[in-house]
Amino acid sequence: MFAAGARGADHAGARREWSPVLASAVLTMPVARVLPPVPKAAVIRLDHVSKVYSRGARPALDDVSVEVERGDFVFLVGSSGSGKSTFLKLILREERPTAGEVHVAGRNLNKLSSWRVPHLRREIGAVFQDFRLLPNKTVFDNVAFALEVIGKKRHHIRSMVPETLELVGLAGKEKRLPHELSGGEQQRVAIARAVVNHPPILLCDEPTGNLDPGTSVGIMRLLDRINRTGTTVLMATHDDEIVDQMRKRVIELRGGELIRDQDRGVYGVEQS
Amino acid sequence: MRLRFILGEVMNGLRRNATMALSVVLVTFVSLTFVGAAVLTQMQVDNLRADWYGRVEVSVFLCPEQSPDIQCATGLATPAQEAAIRDVLENGAVSSLVQKPVYYESRDEAFEKFKEYDADNTYATLTADQMQASFRVKLTDPEQFEVVADAVRGMSGVDVVRDQREIFSGLFSLLNALTVVAAGLAAVMLLAAVLLITTTIRLSAMSRKRETNIMRMVGSSRGLIQLPFMLEGAVAATLGAVMAGAGLWLAVRYVMEDWLRQSVPYVDYIRGSDVLMVAPWLVVAAVALAIVASLATLGRYTRA
């Protein structure tokens, strides 16, 4: 709580400068709800989950129970070492829980055999702070790569990739290489790659961590637009400005424990 | 799509790691050349054995007039003894192992033959009386020598039974020793090849960590992630095997068939076609080698 508060104070100056931009951006976002409201169902469920990496060490996650429903937009906040990364890794089944059960997209990950893991990951798009693009491939090829390696047909790729690049606002930049793009554009490529296969879940690990505030606004507008098509978005972040402005559900971890789960929340609890 | 992707990745990997790939090619080339040489040497030994053993005879030497040997204390073998021995060979229990008729070489004939060899008269004092008469027996199955020898050995009038195969045993020991040396070198080189393929795959996997991480992240199957690396090793190893096969073929075709056959003509040499029978197995061995090496490595570097 203190860490979060201190962080908020650090950024107070910066926020005054750009928050109007963000506010207006969020307000003017196209509210085109194309899909009828879907019945609510938990797409991610953690049931009394604990994770201990090495015996005797402090648990990275300690008896955490959370449900994320389909179509939710959830911020996962907390200082470094609070367990955010472990939370995401458990959902991606990069790690297995020490205790408790993890359910993702209708699968019990405790019982998921390792050869089924790739099928789980096809249902989860992932975006990271460091973009993770292939430097020697063009924008088009970077996005197409995600479809190629899961065996999609070429004509399918030819139609899906331009459509997705259009969605993220990179139409016309298909032939650029990553180093010819700005940070925000690179992150858009990474987002395009994550959603090109239409996964029901999008995990974002500090997607704006390397971007300046103005660019972050654009990325958040994009994530919001993707969320409005029915994709569940779970975003781990340190960016208090964004959390405070977006007013979405906030899950806060501290020392591996879930200390807050709040609808339309803000970054630091004392500010609410 | 997948095939194109895999082949593209394999080519990329080989190009990026060109020197390592080349070293894998060369090491498998040398090691499989030794393996092939060992196999071909054994084929040559078998060839020679079949060829020469078919020609060689068992000689049943009959007692001469004055012999220091105890079994010839009664002196020169009598015609009756000779007839008894011939009867055992041609009509006895071992007759089915013996090619008939059994050739009898008299003392005079032996002396004539001996004089042909002794052209410069080193042994001029030797006379026909000092020679031994003998039965020259060709066997239907050269391996059954002991059975035939036992049947006549100990009969009165028989001095010694000699198997001409003994003459070749030295040569065969030498060829067998060469096979062992080639096989030993092959084993060491194969170990080197496995280690080198392991290292190559590891380097390749590390240099493509970014790709494989993305592939894992977007849900690519483990097989598709690992296959390009395995194929990379297999392609390099296969190339080495093909070179080994080609090298062995050239050696057999031009050294053994063309040159050795003309300078030492009385030997049945292996042919280029024999190499063509061995070569596919070298390729199989190379691929197996690469697969073993990759399985040992990849699990750790491209985890799911």
Pairing of strands A73-77, A232-236: parallel
Task: Tell me the mean pLDDT in the region B133-148.
Answer: 80
Residues of chain B with CATH 3.30.70.3040: 57-163
Mean pLDDT by 10 residues, chain A (272 residues): 41 45 53 53 92 89 94 93 92 94 93 91 94 94 92 92 95 95 96 96 94 93 95 93 91 93 79 40
Q: Which of residues 53-82 of A touch B (CB under 8 A)?
A: none
Judged by a CB distance cut-off of 8 A, whether residue B273 touches chain A is no
The strand pairing partners of B160, in sequence order, are B61
Cα separation, B268 vs A142, in Å, equals 63
Listing DSSP states for A193-223 in one string gives HHHTT--SEEEEESTTTTS-HHHHHHHHHHH
Categorise residue B40: left if φ over 0, alpha if ψ from -120 to 50, beta otherwise.
Answer: alpha
* Of the partner residues B1, B214, B216, the one whose CB lies closest to the CB of residue A151: B1
What is the reported pLDDT for A22? 54
What is the reported pLDDT for A266? 83
Judged by a CB distance cut-off of 8 A, whether residue B220 touches chain A is yes
Do the Cβ atoms of B219 and A119 come within 8 Å?
A: yes
What is the reported pLDDT for B300? 67
Is pTM beyond 0.80? Reply is: no
Judged by a CB distance cut-off of 8 A, whether residue B219 touches chain A is yes
Do the Cβ atoms of A118 and B211 come within 8 Å?
A: no
Q: Which residues have a Cβ under 8 Å from the Cβ of A159 and sit 6 or more positions away?
A: none
* Of the partner residues B210, B224, B304, the one whose CB lies closest to the CB of residue A149: B224
The strand pairing partners of B300, in sequence order, are none
Nearest to B289 by CA among B43, B35, B39: B35
Do the Cβ atoms of B216 and A122 come within 8 Å?
A: no
Task: Tell me the mean pLDDT in the region B6-13.
Answer: 84
Judged by a CB distance cut-off of 8 A, whether residue B93 touches chain A is no
Do the Cβ atoms of B220 and A149 come within 8 Å?
A: yes
Mean per-residue pLDDT of chain B: 83
Cα separation, A222 vs A202, in Å, equals 12
Cα separation, A265 vs B15, in Å, equals 53
What is the reported pLDDT for A215? 93
Q: Which of residues 2-31 of A touch B (CB under 8 A)?
A: none
Nearest to A132 by CA among B213, B146, B168: B213
Cα separation, B219 vs A119, in Å, equals 6
Cα separation, A69 vs A63, in Å, equals 20
Cα separation, B16 vs A134, in Å, equals 15
Phi, psi at residue B153, to the nearest 5°?
-65, 135
The CATH number of domain B57-163 is 3.30.70.3040: yes
Do the Cβ atoms of B214 and A145 come within 8 Å?
A: yes
CATH number, domain A2-123+199-267, options 3.60.110.10, 3.30.460.10, 3.40.50.300, 3.40.190.10: 3.40.50.300
What is the reported pLDDT for A161? 96
How many A-B residue pairs are in contact by the CB < 8 A criterion? 58
Cα separation, A244 vs A267, in Å, equals 6
Judged by a CB distance cut-off of 8 A, whether residue B1 touches chain A is yes
Judged by a CB distance cut-off of 8 A, whether residue A193 touches chain B is yes
Do the Cβ atoms of B222 and A118 come within 8 Å?
A: yes
> How close does chain B come to A191, measured CA to CA in Å?
12
Q: Which of A9-23, A56-70, B76-90, B190-204 is the most confident on average?
A: A56-70
What is the reported pLDDT for A14? 41
**Residue from A92, A147, A149 to probe the interface with B (highest B Cβ count within 10 Å):** A149
Do the Cβ atoms of B218 and A122 come within 8 Å?
A: yes
Helix (H) or strand (E) holding B25: helix B18-55
Task: Tell me the mean pLDDT in the region B294-298.
Answer: 81
Judged by a CB distance cut-off of 8 A, whether residue B222 touches chain A is yes
What residue has token string 């969605």?
A: A167
The Cβ-side half-sphere exposure at B209, using a 13 Å CA radius, reads 6
Q: Please give the residue of chain A at the shortest CA–CA distance from B2.
A: A151
Q: Which of residues 207-226 of A touch B (CB under 8 A)?
A: none
* Of the partner residues B211, B217, B304, the one whose CB lies closest to the CB of residue A126: B217
Nearest to A50 by CA among A39, A62, A38: A62
Do the Cβ atoms of A117 and B1 come within 8 Å?
A: no
What is the reported pLDDT for A186? 96
Pairing of strands A124-128, A201-205: parallel
Do the Cβ atoms of B218 and A134 come within 8 Å?
A: no
**Tokens standing for B247?**
């090298």
**Residue from B4, B208, B217 to probe the interface with A (highest A Cβ count within 10 Å):** B217
Task: Tell me the mean pLDDT in the region B5-18.
Answer: 84
**Tokens standing for A168?**
């993220």
**Tokens standing for B178?**
């060469």
| E strands in A78-151 | 99-104, 107-108, 124-128
The strand pairing partners of B60, in sequence order, are B135, B161
Higher pLDDT, B90 or B32: B32
> How close does chain A come to B21, measured CA to CA in Å?
22
Listing DSSP states for B123-141 in one string gives TTT--GGGS--EEEEEESS
Task: Tell me the mean pLDDT in the region B92-100.
Answer: 79
Judged by a CB distance cut-off of 8 A, whether residue A153 touches chain B is yes
* Of the partner residues B210, B215, B304, the one whose CB lies closest to the CB of residue A149: B215
